[in-house]
Structure 1
Amino acid sequence: MDSGVLLPPGEPSTTSKPGGWPAALFLIAVEFVERVGFYGVQGNLITYLTGPLGLSTAAAAAGVNAWAGTASMLPLLGALAADSWIGRYRAIVAAGVLYLVSFGMLTVSSMVPPRQPQPAASPPASPPRAAFFYATIYVVALAQGFHKPNAQALGADQFPRSSPDSIASRSSFFNWLHFSMSWGFIVAVVALSYVQDNVGWAAGFGASWAMMLVSLSMFLLGTGTYRIAEQPRDRRALARLTEKLAATARTWTDRVFRRSAAMDDECLLRPKEQEGKGVMVKLLPIWMTSVVYAMVIVQVSTLFTKQGSTMDRRIGATTGLVVPPAALQSFVGLAIIASVPIYDRAFVPLARRVTKHPSGITMLQRIGAGMAIASVAMAVAALVEAARLRAARDAGLVDSPGVTVPMSLWWMVPQYVLLGLANVFTMVGLEEFFYDQVPDALRSVGLALCMSIMGVGNYASGVLVSAVDWATMRTGESWFSDNLNRAHLDYFYWALAGVAALEVLVFLYFSTRYVYTNKRELVM
């Protein structure tokens, strides 16, 4: 075949690769194990930074946001490398090797004891130890950058457009992918965070290393089932895409409002041309208006976790079991696990009867619904934090940050559940949207663009936390005081709830003017 498109050297051939659900299920299982290992670091990272590394609450939150932001931006690098050079399969294998190296380094770094251990608080770690730790976790971020967009794109590739049921199957794949990853998230934040808090950090990070070994082994074992889509080896694709991104940044404000009947007709009559013409211009408004949603979601692994560490975490009055604060993040995963089957098997068929759309509702409708739920979740979080502060004042614990506030940790469950439900709508919808709306050869890049939303959201959250900390410290007590009983996380949550509500309105404006690349998504 002489199509001008070649597979990278070492890439499995597309010949006799069945694809479909058998291959997709294999990749879903791989993602479950990989997420256990990855969230074994991210889920409890703020505890490690405020513990063994001895950082303040604000500095630790900013540090987690910076790292998580980088981890969400690096998929752009991994996707570009895969789509323009090495291919998705080899990128996933490279990620597995990087994971094993980085988690091995992380385990070793956590074995180094602090210079002056103290029961109440840890002193700042030595500069060499801190530098080694940060270098290690950023290698972890690089590994995810190569793994996540390419593994998800490879899974969606198992349902080519030539298949009659590809639309519904691909949408269902993204639903069940998040179902599986949510189980991985739960195992990590419950089991691994418990090991880290009660056995030791080295044991917890070592368990994450073992999970990465299992993940890579499973992926290689399933090689014979995958349908590997042909990808270009033209390295100039990277330069062309970079030029498009730069041009988009200069021109999108002038073009985003141009929606006319002529544009609609052009979309319907020349969909292939539209795929390669101004795709970044079309996607940028949706991308930008999703960043606030990301700023809301990142609070789960930072301020929510720190807030929970001050509350009564006992399971029963006599059992002696104490829940690790990071374990409450499992309710995000549980909400996704409970919601995905209902959404995929009940809501979609019911909505399909009304809308006649293969996925029940359009991708943008799904995304907007999740954004609205996220705004409500932050309002609930603000109310719960205000109640925690009242409980601390009533118990006379305002100046006793080391004493547990007499308020059960379980009061925080609703905000986690709401954010889990929001993810079912917005995050799954965004991934399907950015995969579907880019040219076939750049689908890893499309998913990486989606993941970069979380990266920018993390960076923005870190900058916002630092700015608010600086401003409020100069007018009184910081909203992020290390003594959370004197802090005002509730004010910060209210601010995020208000901005998230404004985001929904802006998103509705842009989404109602968006012209889908594929005719099937014009059903409204």
Structure 2
Amino acid sequence: MQGLIILTMTQFIPPLKPCGVDNLKCVNPTKIHKLTFFTAMYCLSLGTGGIKPSLESFGADQFDDNSLTERKGKMSYFNWWNAALCGGLLLGVTVMAYVQDNFGWGTADLILTVTMLITTVIFYLGKPIYRYRAPQGSPLTPILQVFVAALRNRKLPYPTSQDLFYEPGDCETRLLSHTNKLRFLDKACVVGENEVLEGKKPSPWKLSTVTKVEEAKLIVLAVPIWFTSLLFGVCVAQGGTFYVKQSSTMNRNIGNGFVIPPASIHAITAFGMLLFVICYDKIITPVLRRITGKERGISILQRVGIGMIFSAVGMVVAALVEKQRLMVAEKERSQVLSMSVFWLTPQYFIQGIGDGFTLVGLQEYFYEQVPDSMRSIGLALYSSVLGVASFYSSFLIIVVGRVTGKFGSSWFGTDLNSSRLDKFYWLLAAMNGLNLGIYFLVTRKYSYKSVQRKVVVTSN
């Protein structure tokens, strides 16, 4: 909220007003202008990076994993969380974009600041009824302890029975069942012949529990999922960059003189995702549950993979639409084409459906399939997929631009009409196809977290 307050101040406090506002004459932005602007941007970035993983995991923590009803409610929670985000995005790129264009950035920032203040007050009003998780110390130390213990016990023979693995019964955390993946880490919970367990608790740097070992396995198994998700994030990045640039060259007129702001076309993605997650939660999931007999209907990683397929298809559609736009541009030789901006609707809508599958699936994955003490970190890893993917997209554009420039005309010219974004989209589609193959190999025999749930016995 501090970032919004600073941005609002720059529109109403004379020394902070940028050049060109209220006929303010200045050749270049002053140091105070730059300091204020970048302070606001960094505050917004830090606030977003902190609030999104923390608030989302805190909301999911309100559901009891030992209750079947509440577990199903948690599965719906991620759908509705994203529905709320899409609703906010729709308002941002439509209503707020209109306010900014017609009433100024200061008015828009003031509205956002007041809205954020009201929502913060509402959040704190619920403080007495929230469920809280007790702090459990550093979430990373137990993972490191497992690797150290496995290295120390590497020469011990592998047990013939899982009953020989160390797992005390007085553990306060949820116990995890043993899996046969990454068996080299199992040495961390193998009790040696000279290991004395009676009367004292063993050092976690020498002997870990089965649960701690399984938690370490979850982190290791999450690494390839994170990497194979990056290309999906690259495709998502195109929706807010090149897609918007394409829309700025197309006919955006509606009715009598109303012109759609270029950024507002991004609302189609938000609308597509909003519509899809509601249908998925209310229609598709119940049907899948009846068909498969599973709580989720389909597994988390299956949902992510389906979204990746939609993403690849979306790139193909984007390439075909861009090829058509270039043909129109070649005929008309104009900066603003007669081709309607709604030609971009299919690629935006497909991206929205892909987001509904993959983004929500990744949120569930990085919340559910990490140790309980690392759920906020897990959702931060999800956010980092999109952040790193944006850098990856920029790097890819630079490399492709230089390589294609050496062998002829660069795919990224001085303007879109002299560029070949269609070829870049075909490249992304091909890369996504290859990435999908790797993803399916990685997830084909994935071992999900197996929790030893509490059994409640009732008597009549």
TM-score of the alignment, normalized to the shorter chain, above 0.5: yes
Counterparts of 2:347 and 2:60, CA distance in 1: 31
Match of 2:132? 228
Match of 1:81? none
Match of 2:227? 288
Which of 351, 354, 358 is equivalent to 2:288?
A: 351
Letter in 2 for 1:449: L
1:412–1:228 CA distance, 2 compared to 1 (3 A): same
| Offset of residue 396 of structure 1 | 2.5
Q: Partner of 1:267: helix, strand, or coil?
A: coil
Match of 1:70? none
| Offset of residue 418 of structure 1 | 0.5
| Offset of residue 503 of structure 1 | 1.4
Q: Which deviations, in whole Å up to 9, do the C-alpha atoms of 1:160-219 show, x marking residues without a partner? A: 212232331111110111111111110001111222233323333333323322221221
Q: Are 1:431 and 1:447, in contact at CA under 8 Å, matched by a contact in 2? A: yes
Q: Are 2:307 and 2:356, in contact at CA under 8 Å, matched by a contact in 1? A: yes
Counterparts of 1:519 and 1:265, CA distance in 2: 6
Which runs of 5 or more structure 1 residues have no equivalent in the other structure?
1-95, 118-122, 252-260, 398-402
| Offset of residue 108 of structure 1 | 6.5
| Offset of residue 124 of structure 1 | 8.2
Q: Are 1:106 and 1:205, in contact at CA under 8 Å, matched by a contact in 2? A: no
Counterparts of 1:216 and 1:205, CA distance in 2: 16
Match of 1:201? 105
- Is 1:466 matched up with 2:398? yes
Which of 292, 315, 328 is equivalent to 1:378?
A: 315
Query: Percent of aligned pairs with the same residue?
Result: 33
1:193–1:512 CA distance, 2 compared to 1 (3 A): same
Match of 2:93? 189
Deviates more, 1:334-343 or 1:208-217: 208-217
Alignment of 1:81-100 (within 5 A): 96=1, 98-100=2-4
| Offset of residue 114 of structure 1 | 4.4
Q: Which deviations, in whole Å up to 9, do the C-alpha atoms of 1:351-392 show, x marking residues without a partner? A: 112211101000000000000000000111111111111111
Counterparts of 2:49 and 2:246, CA distance in 1: 30
Letter in 1 for 2:224: P
Q: Which has the larger radius of gyration?
A: 2
Q: Which deviations, in whole Å up to 9, do the C-alpha atoms of 1:298-327 show, x marking residues without a partner? A: 1111111111111000003xx100001111
Counterparts of 1:241 and 1:323, CA distance in 2: 53
Which of 14, 19, 23 is equivalent to 1:113?
A: 19
Q: Are 1:189 and 1:326, in contact at CA under 8 Å, matched by a contact in 2? A: yes
Counterparts of 1:224 and 1:265, CA distance in 2: 35
Counterparts of 2:445 and 2:100, CA distance in 1: 48
Counterparts of 1:405 and 1:395, CA distance in 2: 7
| Offset of residue 452 of structure 1 | 0.9
Counterparts of 2:140 and 2:364, CA distance in 1: 25
Counterparts of 1:472 and 1:515, CA distance in 2: 42
- Is 1:518 matched up with 2:438? no
Match of 1:327? 264
Higher RCO (C-alpha under 8 Å, 6+ residues apart): 1
Match of 2:349? 417
Counterparts of 1:124 and 1:474, CA distance in 2: 36
Q: Are 2:97 and 2:264, in contact at CA under 8 Å, matched by a contact in 1? A: yes
Q: Partner of 2:339: helix, strand, or coil?
A: strand
RMSD: 3.2
User: Which TM-score applies when normalising by structure 1?
Assistant: 0.69
Q: Partner of 1:432: helix, strand, or coil?
A: helix
Q: Which deviations, in whole Å up to 9, do the C-alpha atoms of 1:429-456 show, x marking residues without a partner? A: 1101110111212111111111111111
Which of 38, 41, 46 is equivalent to 1:134?
A: 38
Match of 2:57? 153
Counterparts of 2:269 and 2:215, CA distance in 1: 37
Counterparts of 2:63 and 2:260, CA distance in 1: 41
Alignment of 1:30-179 (within 5 A): 96=1, 98-104=2-8, 111-114=17-20, 129-130=33-34, 132-179=36-83
Counterparts of 2:70 and 2:428, CA distance in 1: 38
| Offset of residue 419 of structure 1 | 0.7
Counterparts of 2:322 and 2:240, CA distance in 1: 16
- Is 1:267 matched up with 2:179? yes
- Is 1:484 matched up with 2:416? yes
Match of 2:304? 367
Q: Which deviations, in whole Å up to 9, do the C-alpha atoms of 1:337-356 show, x marking residues without a partner? A: 21122211211111112211
Which of 207, 210, 217 is equivalent to 2:121?
A: 217
Q: Are 2:177 and 2:451, in contact at CA under 8 Å, matched by a contact in 1? A: no
Which runs of 5 or more structure 2 residues have no equivalent in the other structure?
152-160, 166-175, 181-185, 187-208, 453-460
Match of 1:438? 370
| Offset of residue 99 of structure 1 | 4.6
Q: Are 2:369 and 2:449, in contact at CA under 8 Å, matched by a contact in 1? A: yes
